[in-house]
């Protein structure tokens, strides 16, 4: 069984918490709650849009990149959960992939900040 998107993201974030401890950086106030809500929404979205892959990375500046790969993407209206997630991200976009799939990416800037 493939791990959930939220478990992938939280594992990457926990690794970053450990990595940034030496730099006195931590997750911003209230961002942990926002992150968990985002993860829950992505798990719901994965059930309705059938992700092939969910990847996450925390950059050296403390931003979180989330990328999901889909074969098909249908957005019925602007209230679609995917669009809501995009609106709540600092940056959001779509990109064609070489494997006949679509990459959807979200950037949550500066999730980690100096203490």
Q: What is the pLDDT of residues 55-64, one digit of tens each?
A: 999 999 999 9
- Those residues whose C-beta lies under 8 Å from the C-beta of residue 12, and which sit 6 or more positions away, are 56, 57, 58, 64
Q: What are the boundaries of each domain within the chain?
A: 5-114
Rounded distance between C-alpha atoms, residue 101 and residue 72, angstroms: 7
Rounded distance between C-alpha atoms, residue 18 and residue 25, angstroms: 10
Q: What is the pLDDT of residues 53-107, one digit of tens each?
A: 899 999 999 999 999 998 877 777 767 888 889 998 999 999 988 778 889 999 9
pLDDT at 77: 78
Q: Which helix (H) or strand (E) holds 114?
A: strand 112-114
Q: Which helix (H) or strand (E) holds 58?
A: strand 51-58
Confidence band for 1, pLDDT divided at 50, 70 and 90 = low
Is the Cβ–Cβ distance between 10 and 66 less than 8 Å? no
The domain made up of 5-114 has a fold known as Heat Shock Protein 90 (3.30.565)
């Amino acid at each position: 069984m493939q791990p959930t998107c939220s478990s992938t993201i939280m594992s990457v974030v926990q690794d970053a918490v450990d990595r940034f401890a030496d730099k006195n950086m931590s997750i911003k106030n209230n961002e942990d709650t926002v992150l968990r809500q985002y993860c829950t929404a992505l798990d719901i979205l994965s059930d309705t849009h059938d992700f092939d892959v969910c990847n996450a990375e925390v950059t050296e500046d403390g931003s979180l990149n989330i990328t999901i790969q889909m074969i098909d993407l249908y957005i019925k209206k602007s209230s679609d959960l995917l669009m809501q997630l995009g609106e709540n991200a600092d940056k959001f976009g779509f990109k064609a992939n070489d494997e006949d799939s679509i990459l959807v990416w979200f950037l949550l800037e500066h999730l980690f900040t100096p203490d």
